[in-house]
Amino acid sequence: MKTRKLGALEVSEIGFGDMELTPGPYGLGIERPEGLRVIRDAYEQGVRFFDTAEVYGPYLNEELVGEALAPVRDQVKIATKFGFAIDGTNRLDSRPERIRRVVEESLKRLRTDRIDLFYQHRVDPSVPIEDVAGTVKDLIQQGKVLHFGLSEPSATTLRRAHAVQPVTAVQTEYSIIERSVERNGVLDTCEELGVGFVPWGPLGQGFLSGRMDVNVQSTMDQENDLRAHFPRFSPMVMQNNQPIIAFLAKFGAAWGATPAQMALAWLMARKPWIVPIPGTTKIDHLRENLGAVRIELTPTDLRELETGLARLEIYGGRMDANQMAQIGQD
């Protein structure tokens, strides 16, 4: 496992998204001992960058990550997030006083004295981004936070925040089937400002693993898995997007690579400051994902991939209207 730079923060070239291990947007998670085992196996396989959030669980995910990584805390970088009210609604709350309270609580749950990367989980339109950045700047000066991040901002919001406190990383959904950051200026702005980029959902929220049946939506937890209501996973869209999986499988045959590995290798080949954070509850899937580091796509490979993908239509939107309403648009 090599390393990459998100701004001035050095991390492993692939990180691990811990969200699925506890109750969260994709279901009820797994038993705690198994969750600990998955995180520790990721570390043993070379992962040194772990992503969590206050809202996952809520709180349970940070506690799990804190326990799993306590013995190796100084060898890893931990990212967590603030910004949801956690009051039974989907309401946002990035008031400075709440940010200051969250950092203290997250430090305790993570069993640490500093947070390596502290993201605003979603941009709160009721709080000026300058106030958010200024609050995190104070926390950095106090040593409680080392780096500032934004999740799902617009390019304009990123610039405004960066002018107050340099942003180390932006986290937004990005994959072969979700490329809006290439069109809305976010990726270009990251490059211009020297900000790292962390794709969440680098496997299309699971679709690009190639393991999902076209009727997968009917098997999802209708109450606890948001994907059960996302257009991307409806039977018709799943069926229409199967040529993407077939293409990745065929293209990856030369490397003996799976569609998931090709999807991750594609992201890493896009820019040296892109660090995907695939998540999973299964160790065999974890190790498959990490196998992507052995695939180093050349510029010629990338052109061939792009040419093939350009012939394929991609169906289905990212998320439902409720979730999309919180994505930076200005």
Is residue 116 situated within a structural domain?
yes
Condensed to tens digits (0 to 9), the pLDDT of residues 188-236 reads: 999 999 999 999 999 999 999 999 999 999 999 998 999 999 999 999 9
Question: In 166-291, which residue ranges form alpha helices assigned H by DSSP?
Answer: 186-193, 235-240, 242-252, 259-270, 283-290
Whether residue 330 is contained in a domain is answered as: no
Other C-beta atoms closer than 10 Å to the C-beta of 329 total 13
- Distance (Å, rounded) from C-alpha 136 to C-alpha 99? 8
What is the per-residue pLDDT for 323?
Answer: 80
In a domain, 166, yes or no: yes
Q: Residue 321 pLDDT more than 70?
A: no
Structural domain containing residue 271? 3-324
72 domain residue, yes or no: yes
Task: Tell me what pLDDT residue 324 has.
Answer: 77
Q: What is the arithmetic mean of pLDDT over 53-77?
A: 98
HSE-CB of 79 using CA atoms within 13 angstroms:
31
58: cis peptide before it, omega within 30°?
Answer: yes
Q: How confident is the model at residue 317 (pLDDT cuts 50, 70, 90)?
A: confident
Instruction: Please state, for a pLDDT cut of 70, what percent of the chain lies above it.
Output: 98
Residue 292 maps to a domain: yes
pTM above 0.95, yes or no: yes
Answer yes or no: is pLDDT of 329 > 70.
Answer: no
| 330 pLDDT tier (thresholds 50, 70, 90) | low
Q: Give the HSE-up count for residue 61: Cα atoms under 13 Å, Cβ half-sphere.
A: 28
113 inside domain = yes
Rounded mean pLDDT, 258-279: 98
Q: Determine, yes or no, domain membership for 329.
A: no
Chain mean pLDDT for the chain: 96
Could you tell me if residue 60 is inside a domain? yes
So what's the pLDDT on residue 184? 95
Pick from 18, 39, 42: nearest CA to 289: 42
Residue 119 is a catalytic residue: no
pLDDT confidence of residue 88: 87
CATH code where residue 99 lies: 3.20.20.100
Catalytic member of 26, 43, 56, 119: 56
Total number of domains constituting the chain: 1
The pLDDT tens digits for 20-61 are 999 988 899 999 999 999 999 999 999 999 999 999 999 999
Instruction: Say yes or no to pLDDT of 73 above 80.
Output: yes
Q: Identify any residues that bridge with 145 across adjacent strands, giving them in sequence order.
A: 115
Per-residue model confidence as pLDDT tens digits over 135-153 = 999 999 999 999 999 999 9
CA distance linking residue 69 with residue 226, whole number of Å = 28
**142 phi, psi to nearest 5 deg:** -85, -10
